Amino acid sequence: MTTNRAAARFALRLAGAGLTATMAAIHLRLWAEGYRDLATIGPLFLLNGVVGTLLAVTLLVTPVRRLGPVAAATALFTAGTLGGLILSLTTGLFGFGESIDAELVRPTVYVETAGTAVLTVLAVASLGHRRHHRHCQRKRKGVLRAGRRGPGGTSVKADPLLILRDLLGHSSAVTTRSTPLRLRP
């Protein structure tokens, strides 16, 4: 089961990076073909191309434990880009109006819609992986929060500072004890 989840997350990562790179390439091409001469819109197209390229590369090289926030940020960036396109198609954006029949508008809508969907699923799956991973680590160490029952239904006595320390990732700023919170009957 874990292998299937890892394979699905890997496929989503590749698809998300590919769609983000495609979005960036479209914006860079349009910028090079004349959008650079447009006030405000031109620099935004260049910025979108550069940031999109950086986000695509970041999606590929980020460790799995940090993938959720990167995927979420990339999904929000892609959704914002799609929102800007929709505004330019409907009411205009910074004095610029776009037509659905213009070159690359339809492919851009498809790429950005798919990118937003894929990256959102990747972010949710990766953030769920982080929570599951933390839960398994605590379970292996015998770490439980207050109010839960230990083995055999015995109540668990917990030091609130140790719980806070555990939740903050074993930060030494909260307490100086070096042992994690353990079950005590």
What's this model's pTM, rounded to 2 decimal places?
Answer: 0.66
State phi, psi for 103 to the nearest 5 degrees.
-60, 135
Note the pLDDT of residue 173.
47
In order along its 185 residues, the chain shows pLDDT tens digits of 567 888 888 999 999 999 999 999 999 999 999 888 888 888 999 999 999 999 999 999 999 888 999 999 999 999 999 999 999 888 888 888 887 888 888 999 999 999 999 999 999 988 875 554 554 555 555 554 545 555 555 555 555 555 555 666 554 444 444 555 555 55
Query: Could you tell me the two tokens for 109?
Result: 């809508």
Note the pLDDT of residue 86.
92
Q: Are 8 and 125 in contact (CB under 8 A)?
A: yes
Note the pLDDT of residue 180.
55
Alpha-carbon distance 185 to 170, whole Å? 22
Alpha-carbon distance 24 to 180, whole Å? 46
Alpha-carbon distance 120 to 2, whole Å? 20
Note the pLDDT of residue 168.
61
Place of tokens 């447009």: 38
Note the pLDDT of residue 21.
96
Query: Could you tell me the two tokens for 88?
Result: 């330019």
Other CB atoms within a 10 A radius of the CB of residue 146 amount to 13
